[in-house]
């Protein structure tokens, strides 16, 4: 069974931890909404890279293999007649 590549489907940034000010009221540093969007994208990529280093993807792959194998081994025909290999893409 080829499960394809593991990817993060969603993430969450606590909106209470961020403050966005009215850019017209800020004399020295103009922060635009596109800057905020760029910041969010950079943070998302950084967190994904950190999770790869921590081994989160490998842990997820192990759990996926275990769950699929367990579910399919319930069926006597599959368990007795097939060799099961779960492939997780990179």
Classify residue 6 as exposed, middle or buried by CB count within 10 Å of its CB (0-12, 13-18, 19+).
middle
Q: Classify residue 26: in a domain, yes or no.
A: no
The string of DSSP codes covering 16-69 is GG-----GGG-SS----HHHHHHHHHHHHHHHHHHHHHHTHHHHHHHHHHHHHH
Give the count of domains, the chain.
1
pLDDT band at 84 (very low <50, low <70, confident <90, very high): confident
> Within its chain, how far is the Cα of 15 from the centroid?
19
Containing structural domain, residue 70: 2-13+41-89
Q: Classify residue 48: in a domain, yes or no.
A: yes
> Within its chain, how far is the Cα of 77 from the centroid?
34
Q: Classify residue 79: in a domain, yes or no.
A: yes
Q: Classify residue 34: in a domain, yes or no.
A: no
Residue that wins the pLDDT comparison between 85 and 11: 85
pLDDT tens, residue by residue, 13-58: 777 776 666 656 656 666 666 777 788 888 888 888 888 889 888 8
Q: Classify residue 27: in a domain, yes or no.
A: no
> If DSSP codes are grouped into helix, strand and coil, which group holds residue 6?
coil
């Amino acid at each position: 069974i080829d499960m394809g590549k593991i990817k993060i489907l969603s993430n969450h940034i606590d909106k209470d931890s961020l403050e966005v000010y009215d850019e017209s009221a800020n004399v020295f540093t103009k922060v635009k909404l596109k800057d905020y969007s760029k910041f969010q994208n950079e943070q998302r990529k950084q967190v994904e890279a950190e999770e790869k280093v921590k081994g989160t993807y490998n842990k997820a792959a192990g759990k996926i293999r275990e769950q699929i194998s367990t579910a399919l081994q319930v069926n006597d025909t599959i368990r007795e007649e097939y060799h099961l290999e779960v492939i997780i893409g990179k």
